[in-house]
């Protein structure tokens, strides 16, 4: 009942078991550019047709990393557990983005109830084929000769709408869809609002001291200041890559990492943000080494000057992100080698870490 009241058309909730529809059914929902309600269906997603998976989160909102970072809203979409884009149709992009799945591309297992009429596949349509999906991965080459790509990440502003951080509907949806518990939602919103007050500068030091006591008492984390000691523009330290996928590493303590940062909280252009600080001191297995990703703002491929490291089950949980609290997109975190300590292969990983 609550889902119907607040869902704005969503019918699935976190934990639902769904089956991805066949390629023919999905293609029939798409326009001549491979989109449904502006959202591209990507060739990498075809591999999951016919498979059963659980809904990880309802994507009723997300974060826009194309324009100035902000929250956005969308309708009838979810993220599925344990799958990310492998970049196979985008020249090996290694960003490991979470897919957005429209409810029309899925069917709930164990029920004969159809999806909402507005999301029903338009059977018989021949506007989109697999070849269309492949073609739409690249934009026409411009005068500069640079190849630019198109995907769900680059097109995100086109299929989402504006969402103010203070809009209460989103937080109600976070709870009623099962994305987060009621207690988690209340804690994150309460602490997030308090941090905004602290940032006004009124009673700054006294408020931080009080905030830290209260945050710990409700299961949150203390005030996080990640400003490094190195001046803006000054060189920051680096290190050689000495890990490979499958290796076990420990994330160094916060103080050691902050010592490698500039006053803009970056090391060689890579931001260390509050969502990463929660993992300091924990042990994880290396998932992959990142050397090239698509720039979401321009669509061009970026070959990294220094490789970044992705760890298993380490991603943004958006508890402390301005403008986009509790975003369900789960963007993976990128780590510099000097922020990690390699451990023996038989070292157990953090109990909360699971392969994803």
- pLDDT 10s digits, 218-263: 999 889 889 999 998 899 999 899 999 999 999 999 999 999 999 9
Question: Do 34 and 149 sit in the same domain of this protein?
Answer: yes
pLDDT at 118: 41
Is residue 330 in a domain? yes
Same domain, 150 and 265: no
Structure tokens at 26: 């999905």
Q: Last residue of a domain, which of 162, 187, 216?
A: 162
**pLDDT above 80 for 274:** yes
The reply to whether 145 falls in a domain is yes
- The answer as to whether 236 is a domain residue is no
Quick one: 137 and 27 in the same domain?
A: yes
> Which of helix, strand or coil describes residue 94?
coil
Spatial separation of the C-alpha atoms in residues 170 and 10, rounded to whole Å: 13
Please indicate, yes or no, whether residues 10 and 151 belong to a single structural domain of this protein. Answer: yes
Is the same domain home to 149 and 275?
A: no
What's the DSSP call for residue 338? G
- Considering the domain boundaries, does residue 176 fall inside one? no
Residue 133 included in any domain: yes
Looking at the structure, tell me whether residues 139 and 33 fall in a common domain.
yes
Please give the residue range of the domain that contains residue 77. 2-162
Q: What is the pLDDT of residue 122?
A: 44
Q: How far apart are CA 170 and CA 154, in angstroms?
A: 23
Over range 327-336, report the average pLDDT. 97
Residues 115 and 262 in one domain: no
What number is the average pLDDT over the span 204-220? Answer: 92
Average pLDDT taken over every residue of the chain: 91
User: What pLDDT, on the 0 to 100 scale, is given for residue 7?
Assistant: 60
* Confidence at residue 355, expressed as pLDDT on a 0 to 100 scale: 35
Both 51 and 153 in one domain: the answer is: yes
3-state secondary structure at position 201: coil
Is the confidence at residue 354, as pLDDT, over 50? no
Please report whether residue 210 resides in a domain: no
Write out the two tokens for 297: 């703002």
Task: Name which residue leads in pLDDT, 113 or 180.
Answer: 180
DSSP for 270-298? EE--HHHHTTTT-EEEEEEEEEEEE-TTT
Q: Are residues 9 and 119 in the same domain?
A: yes
The answer to whether 97 and 153 have CB atoms below 8 angstroms apart is yes
Per cent of the chain over pLDDT 70 is 92
Which residue is associated with the tokens 């809904």? Answer: 55
Same domain, 147 and 256: no
Q: Does the residue 184 lie in any domain? A: no
Domains identified in the chain, total number: 2
Q: Name 230's bridge partners.
A: 262
Average pLDDT of the residues in 6-15: 81
pLDDT tens digits, one per residue of 26-68 = 999 999 999 999 999 999 999 999 999 999 999 999 999 998 8
- Which tens digits make up the pLDDT trace of 75-109? 999 999 999 999 999 999 999 999 999 999 999 99
Closest CA to 301 of 313, 310, 293: 293
Residue at which a domain ends, from 132, 162, 192: 162
234 within some domain: no
Reply yes or no on whether the pLDDT at 167 is more than 70. Answer: yes
* Of 109, 136, 162, the domain-final residue: 162
């Amino acid at each position: 009942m609550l889902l119907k009241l607040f869902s704005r058309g969503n019918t699935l909730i976190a934990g639902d078991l769904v089956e991805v529809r066949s390629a023919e059914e999905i293609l029939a929902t798409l326009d001549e550019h491979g989109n449904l309600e502006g959202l591209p269906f990507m060739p990498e997603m075809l591999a999951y047709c016919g498979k059963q998976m659980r809904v990880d989160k309802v994507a009723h909102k997300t974060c826009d990393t194309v324009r100035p970072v902000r929250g956005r809203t969308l309708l009838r979409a979810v993220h599925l557990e344990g799958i990310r884009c492998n970049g196979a149709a985008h020249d090996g992009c290694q960003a490991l983005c979470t897919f957005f799945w429209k409810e029309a591309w899925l069917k709930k297992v164990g029920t004969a109830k159809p999806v909402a009429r507005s999301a029903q596949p338009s059977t018989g349509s021949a506007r989109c084929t697999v070849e269309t999906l492949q073609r739409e991965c690249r934009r026409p080459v411009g005068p500069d000769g640079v190849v630019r790509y198109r995907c769900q990440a680059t097109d995100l502003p086109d299929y989402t709408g504006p969402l103010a951080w203070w809009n209460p509907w989103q937080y109600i949806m976070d709870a009623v869809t099962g994305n987060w518990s009621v207690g988690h939602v209340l804690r994150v919103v309460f602490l997030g609002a308090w941090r905004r007050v602290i940032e006004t500068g009124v009673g700054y030091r006294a408020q931080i001291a009080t905030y830290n006591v209260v945050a710990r008492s409700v299961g949150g984390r203390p005030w996080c200041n990640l400003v490094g000691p190195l001046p803006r523009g000054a060189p920051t330290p680096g290190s050689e890559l000495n890990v490979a996928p499958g290796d076990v590493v420990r994330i160094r303590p916060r103080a050691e990492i902050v010592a490698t940062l500039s006053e803009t909280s970056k090391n060689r252009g890579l931001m260390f943000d509050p969502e990463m600080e929660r993992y300091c001191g924990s042990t994880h297995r290396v998932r992959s080494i990142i050397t090239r990703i698509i720039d979401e703002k321009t669509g061009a491929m970026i070959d990294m000057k220094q490789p970044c490291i992705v760890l298993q089950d380490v991603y943004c949980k958006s508890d402390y992100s301005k403008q986009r609290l509790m975003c369900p997109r789960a963007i993976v975190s990128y780590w510099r080698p000097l922020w990690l300590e390699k451990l023996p292969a038989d070292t157990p990983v953090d109990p909360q870490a699971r392969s994803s």
